[in-house]
Amino acid sequence: MAALALVLTAACSGSENADTAGGDEADPATATITPEDGADEVKPNLPVKVEAEGGTITDVAVQQSGGETPDDSADMSGSLNEDENVWVSDWNLYPGSDVEVAATVQNPDGEESEVVSEFSTRSATEGQRLELTSNFPTSDQTVGVGMPVVINFDMPVENKGQVENSIEVTSEEGMEGAWNWFGDETAVFRPKEYWEPNQEITVDLRLAGVEASDGVFGIENHQINFEVGREQISTVDDEEHTMVVERDGEEIKEFPISNGDASKHIYTTTSGTHLTMEKYEHLVMDSSTVGIPVDSPEGYKLDVNYAVRTSGSGEFTHSAPWNGQLGESNESHGCTNMAPEDAKWFYEESLMGDPFTVTGTDRELEVDNGWGYWQRSWEEWLEHSETGEADRTDGNGTVGSPHGKPEE
């Protein structure tokens, strides 16, 4: 897209005898703004760029209105290069928006000039608007130290790198983290190590204007604010039939348990790092949900209390007053059976995202079974990231650009 250089001369010119006052005056600085003044149907994921000649950039203001732009939208932030003569917007523009870019440049003598460009962006077509269907956690939740950020979109994302770079995760304690995709509609952010406990996390989803796929644009920005609580990590030893709970590095509980009897692969409790996902004070467990008809010889339909989900394949910790082999042998269909008072304690003391590690079985938890995301090493996690680089959660932006490339 061609760029238009708009040059404004100084409001006051020097006198004819300027040479006698100390030498030649510097020419006014000029600036070029892209997109150009008067352009319309500009793709909202193209960057706003200001380039100064003969001076430096002292201020850039980007105002958006109309279309999908909310009334309380903030000014667009941007990044200035080391020479202070090139400014590029950090994020994308709202679709269907009227945009005004006002840039102030300064020559070596301190004389300022202002350049303005006004243009409009392309609207997002109905049926081609990227939106969220759900996210975990939600704002105001307190979660465990293993909690990922899970974003579910309403349509497939092809430009995964641009979408990754449009979402910034900020924590009070800066850490490394990265995104992985599970299918084309689910993005998951995980830190390199468990979150430091007792801190606030903010997720800024600057999706407005991002081109998720060809012609599919985000139309709205979102923010998620949640808290990481105390550190609670539970470890189940399948061979010893015990569960040990540690809180903030100190062992606080040890329970006798009974895992899956392993008579079939499906009845084997999965080994690996799980996360607690959801919990129910009362739950009906139906074998048909895992492909075993209730009326078959191996079918079951049980009413259980104090159930805490640890996988997507039907594994829970729960009360099992009928199991007389707690601490002695494995007798369940894959769940971790507990005494009623123990199950109640674990139910009440668990947060979503608490690590729950099982050792000693020959069935490995899959990375996409529930929230088995810690099953990937950090190196593997980075390899599966579209950008291939770690983000820092220190508020300094993402590792790459959320913008698309100019049309040829």
208, 194, 200: which is closest to 224 by C-alpha?
A: 200
Tell which residue, 272, 161, 252, has the closest CA to residue 211: 161
* pLDDT computed for residue 8 by the predictor: 35
What per-residue confidence (pLDDT) applies to 15?
38
Tell me the residue ranges of DSSP E strands in 257-300: 272-275, 279-286
- Residue 150 amino acid letter: V
Please, what's the b/e burial string for 192-204 (b: 16 or more CB within 10 A of its CB; e: otherwise)? eebbebeeebbbb
pLDDT, one tens digit per residue, over 228-275 is 999 999 999 999 999 999 999 999 999 999 999 999 999 999 999 999
What six digits make up the tokens of 53?
């000649």
- pTM confidence score: 0.89
Domains and CATH numbers, the chain: 4-9+28-120 (2.60.40.3780), 129-229+377-391 (2.60.40.3710), 232-360 (2.40.440.10)
In a structure prediction context, what are the per-residue pLDDT tens digits for the chain, which is 408 residues long?
A: 334 333 333 333 333 444 444 557 889 999 999 999 999 999 999 999 999 999 999 999 999 998 778 876 667 999 999 999 999 999 999 999 999 999 999 999 999 999 999 999 999 999 999 999 999 999 999 999 999 999 999 999 999 999 999 999 999 999 999 999 999 999 999 999 999 999 999 999 999 999 999 999 999 999 999 999 999 999 999 999 999 999 999 999 999 999 999 999 999 999 999 999 999 999 998 877 777 787 777 777 889 999 999 999 999 999 999 999 999 999 999 999 999 999 999 999 999 999 999 999 999 999 999 999 999 999 999 999 999 999 999 999 999 999 998 764
Catalytic member of 274, 333, 335, 403? 335
Coil, helix or strand for 161? helix
CA distance 151 to 172: 21
* Residue 318: active-site member: yes
Cα atoms found within 13 Å of the Cα of residue 31, Cβ hemisphere only: 34
CA–CA dist 331, 337 (Å, integer): 9
| Catalytic site residue from 274, 318, 333, 403 | 318
Cβ burial of 179 (10 Å; 0-12, 13-18, 19+) is buried
Q: Which secondary-structure segment (H or E) carries 113?
A: strand 112-120
Q: Which residues pair with 4 in a beta bridge?
A: 33
What letter represents residue 231's amino acid? E
